[in-house]
Structures are given as structure tokens and as C-alpha cells.
Structure 1
Amino acid sequence: MTELDLVLARKEAVADGVARLTLRDPRGGPLPEWEPGAHVDLLLGEGLERQYSLCGDPADRSELAVAVLREPDSRGGSAYVHDRLAEGDTVRVRGPRNNFALVDSPRYLFLAGGVGITPILPMVAAAHSRGADWRLVYGGRTRASMAFADVLTDTYGDRVELRPQDETGLLPLDSLLAAPEPDTAVYCCGPEPLLAEVERRCATWPPGALHVERFSPKQGADAGPRQAFEVELAHSGVTLLVPPDKSILEVVEDAGIPVLSSCQEGTCGTCETEVREGVPDHRDSLLTDEEREAGETMMICVSRSCGPRLVLEL
């Protein structure tokens, strides 16, 4: 996967507590192609790696842009971005990667909460350019906390509905998702309570209608028994024991076998690995129900085995 050292060309406030970072190649070269829904990893030093959705224009290869919310309970990433990163600094970037791709559909309903608007921005632009029927309902704590709100309403008018919580309450999900709508793709990004409620209401929609992206694990995603099991690495030719208190990723790395990983929470997809034999015990927050049932891949940073043995393409 591509890793680049980019320069922070611009850092600007786009809402209360939200900073937009514009990253460019220091030599002016073109940056990797990407599509709406993609994200990158920022390697911030001191062991900090964080995933942020790209919110710029995919057609503009001269820059990559992300928006970062200052989290009050930051584990270090957002505080580093807001307090220590300055224009002119070098930032190592890995990616882009896309686990939230925009499917072709005649109709879209976009639901965004807070900084979850970032992957939705290029999606809205793409849907609009395709001539699709679309609607965006965007909520936030206050109007001042809602990044890009003015740009969205100025550009798209009444296709965009802004719903600051202190003015209108929570998003009206009961009416928005009251009944399945034919040929409609629902895209949602935001805080976990919003995602969970949208998933609950879309349970009766057609399979594949709902698309969500998380940057924190689902509540209870890693619950369940933790038994020891064996994992055979098909390419490396070794078999390893995974004890109850370690992940597959940890055991593989302890054996000296390099594996690309990032979040280690089952949300980013970096460590997704093909399963050759065995039944994975999926504990990630990324795969769809259909992908879980197929059992063809797994996130080895959190997922385990339903049986005594797995064979993986490692």
C-alpha cells in the first residue's frame, strides 16, 4: 500500500472544533487516485495512526483533504492534529483505501452526523453529477459545529436539510426510514448511536441498501468466548497457536511475519486477510452480514475462530 510524505499546505478551521487539512506533494507531483468514500491513514508519530475520510475533489490530483474533529476524550490523534501540526509540517500518509464506496443507484439518501459529513461531501457531488435523485439530511450539535454546512446549502439548495440538534432535535429517523424505498441506497456516517439507530431501522430494507462507515468499534463487537485455536499461514508455511489473550495479528507479528495493520480495532480494513479454510468468528465493525456469512475474509486484529483451526493467506 502506498505511503507518501506530504506537506501540510493549509490548516483551517471549518467549524467549531473541526480543522481541515490540505496535504500536497512537496515536489508538486500528482497524488494517488481515489473515489468518494475513501480514507487515508495519517501516521502522526509517537505510534499514533488515525484514519480520516477524504473530503476534497477526487478529480483534483494536486491535494488530499481531510477534516479532523477535536475529540474531548482524544486518545492522542485529534489533539496532535489540532495542537501540534502546523502548516509546512511533513505528514506521512498511507492509502487511500475505500471500504465505503459509492454504488450506482438511481436514488440516494445521505445521513450525516457531525464530522461524519466528510466522506459524504464527495459522494453528494458525485451523485449530483450523475443526475441521480438524492437528499442529504445533516445533523450536528449546533449550527456552528457543522462543517461545510454553508457550502452544501449554497451549492445544492433544498436537497440539503440541516438539522442542528439544539434547534430541531435529533434526526427524524422514524420518518426518514419509515418504510423501505425502492432503488434507494442509504449512506450514513457519524457517531455510533446514530449508526446503530439507522441500522436498526434499515433491518427491513433490502440487503445491501444500507452503507455505513465507522471509525470506532460497534458496542459489543468483540464480545464472546475467547478460546485458543491454531492458525496455519499458507504462504509462510508455519502453524501458530493463538491463545485466549492475544489476537491473530499479535501472534503473527510475534512470529516475525510482517502484516500491514492500522486501527487494531476492526474498523479500518487494513489487516483484512483471505481465509482459505475454517470458519471465522467475526468481531470487526466493517464487514456486511453477507460478507460475514461468506467467510472469505476476516480482520485478524480482532476476529477469532469458530473452530480449532484456520488457514489464512499469509
Structure 2
Amino acid sequence: MSTQTIEVRVGSCELIGKVLSFDLLPVTDELPPWEAGAHIDLILGDDLVRQYSLCGDPADKTRYCLAVLLEENSRGGSRTVHETVRPGAVLKIGAPRNLFPLVPSEGPDVLIGGGIGVTPLIAMAHELGDRNVPFTLHYVARDPAFAAFLQASSFADRVQIHDRSNPSTSRPDLSSVLQGIGRGHVYTCGPVALMDGVQEAALALGLTEAQIHREAFSALPISGGETFEVLAAKSGVRVQVGADEPITAALARAGVKVTVSCEQGICGTCVVDLLEGDPDHRDEYLTEDERTDQIALCCSRAKSPLLVVDL
């Protein structure tokens, strides 16, 4: 989670289908600048922090825009947003963080989002439009809750909606979607199966790895690994971590508490310094440079028999 906390006031709110769209305005100072692909931490309570992609126009420096889908199996975040976010409410957020930036390109670029993974692509569509870069945005979903939101956007003429609510409807032909991309780039966010399919189709068409960009909204699963040990250096506690057990749970059994929030490897709350060992990073938060000496304990595993962490 970002260490910088910013106080904001909710501006306009609009419920479009199951999606609550709302603006966040500065209470005092100006909001930090951001670029398409960035997300923020939305602090909803002492132990409830959720990450949402900014989906407004990055050229608008006066506000942040979020669009939150009310999920049927909500773990508390989307439900709390829909129940409590109202015009005038004062909230706290973290500063924008971007692990999914746009790369300079003359296009045409292709944006492919599945489910809630479409949200960072909305900001990309705004930014590409501002740059006059040709693009198309493809939205794939079994419950296309963001369809009305996209159809009301300024770039609606560049949106293609692939409604998969009918079980007989097949996934879009990704090879056809990516035809003619040339030196452009493809950006995809959503379920792993969709992103893997996009990557496979792009590589088959001759695109390079550098032209393919993806972001997941959750970490890789922790199941299916080997057992290993973790030593908390400061406390001297050494524990065995089970094959299907988070490191945080193993440490908690031994009395070493680690603060967690999303428990999906995307917020950074449980990140600590790594002192020794070979980690198997499964988070979506740390950059490659940060992974040299840090680890997200809620989801990561080990390639070595022992990890030593600064706890």
C-alpha cells in the first residue's frame, strides 16, 4: 500500500447499471499527477483497503475518477463502496502507483479487457485519444456490466463489446482482433486465461514481447508448491510454511503478526525486506528492481528451503 495518504472529497456519483462511477476531488492541495494504467489505494476502514484503477482522463488534473463494479462475491470492498460513497463524503486514498504504463507508439494500439480488468484500459483510451493515437478497445465479459459505461464514453465509437453472457457465445477471435497492429502495442487486463490467449495470439502474429503488456488484478495462486521455512530475523521465530499455506498464516501461527489488506498481492501492505533466500514472487505489486530485496508475504513462495525476512 502507498505510504502517502491523501484526503479527498467525493464529487459527483452516478450509478450506471452495477457500476458506481464517482469523482474524487482534493480537500486541500492539488492531486498528484498520474498516467494511464495507474491505480490508487482506497482506504475504506482500518482493515479494509482496496485497489482501484483510475479510469478518468489523465489530462484532467482536477479530479480522479473511479468506476467500481458491485461484485456478487464481494469480500467487502465493492459492497462498502456502493453503500457508503456519496457526494460530499471525505475519504482517504494512497498516491497513484503505475505498474501498467502506456508505451509511446504511433499505433494502432489494441486494448483488450475482461470483466473489471477493463478499468485501467478506459484511462488508456482517454490518453491515446488525447495523443491522437489510433486504437480500439475490446471489452470481453460474461456479465458486461461496464457496457453502458463504455457506451457513454467520449470514445464509444472505438469500443467493441463481446458479450459472453450466452454460454453458446464463443470468445472473440483474438487473431482477427490483433490483425494489422504492425508496430503498435497491445494491452490486456483481466482473467489469466484471456491474457494468456491474447499473448499467444500476438506472438503467433509476429509481435514481440515488448509490444505485449498485461496486468492481473490478483496474484498467482499459492497452491501446488513445496513446503519451506521462513525465519523472522528480528524475533528469531522460524516456521514451516505448508504447500497451500500463505507465509502470513504460518507466521501468525507462531505469534508473528504481519499486517495484511488485500491478501491478493496487489496492495503492498504485507511487503517486507528480504534478507536471505530465493523467493518465488507471485505478487502484482513489486517492480523487478524492488523484488531484489523485498517480498510480498501474503502470496509469495520460495524456491530455496529457507527465506529470511526482516520481521
Q: Scaled by the length of structure 1, what TM-score is found?
A: 0.78
Q: Which residue of 2 aligns with 1:88?
A: 88
| Contact 1:229–1:307 (8 Å) recurs in 2 | no
Contact persistence 1:56–1:65 (CA under 8 A): yes
- Counterpart amino acid of 2:56? G
Match of 1:213 in 2: 215
Q: Is the 8 A contact 2:219 2:282 kept in 1?
A: no
Alpha-carbon distance, 1:21 to partner:
1.8
Gaps of 5+ in 1: none
CA contact (8 A) 1:222 1:284 kept: no
Match of 1:280 in 2: 279
Shift of 1:66: 0.6
Equivalent residue, structure 2, for 1:139: 140
Structure-2 change in CA distance of 1:83 and 1:238 (3 Å): closer
1:304 aligns with 2:306: no
Deviation at 1:247, TM superposition (A): 4.7
- 1:130-155 deviations in whole A, cap 9, x for unaligned? 34342222234467741432244x53
Match of 1:10 in 2: 12
**Alignment-derived partner of residue 170 in structure 1:** 171
| TM alignment of 1:100-115, pairs within 5 A | 100-107=100-107, 108-115=109-116
String of CA shifts for 1:188-220, please: whole Å, max 9, x gaps: 1234543343345456553343322222344x4
Name the count of aligned residue pairs. 299
2:240 corresponds to 1:243 = yes
What residue identity is the alignment partner of 1:189?
C
Change (3 A) 1:46 1:230: closer
Distance of aligned partners of 1:171 and 1:91 in 2 relative to their CA distance in 1, 3 Å threshold: farther
Would the aligned equivalents of 1:273 and 1:300 in 2 still touch at CA under 8 Å?
yes
CA deviation after TM superposition for structure 1 residue 171, in Å = 2.7
Q: Report deviation, 1:56.
A: 1.3
> Aligned partner of 1:215: which letter?
F
- Equivalent residues of 2:110, 2:178 under 8 A apart: no
Give the partner amino acid of 2:214. Answer: V
TM-score (norm 2): 0.79
Decide whether the 8 Å contact of 2:265 with 2:282 is kept in 1.
yes
Q: Which amino acid aligns with 1:128?
A: G
Q: CA deviation at 1:31?
A: 0.9
| Secondary structure of 1:243 counterpart | strand
What is the percent sequence identity of the aligned residues? 34
Distance in 1 separating the partners of 2:274 and 2:190: 30
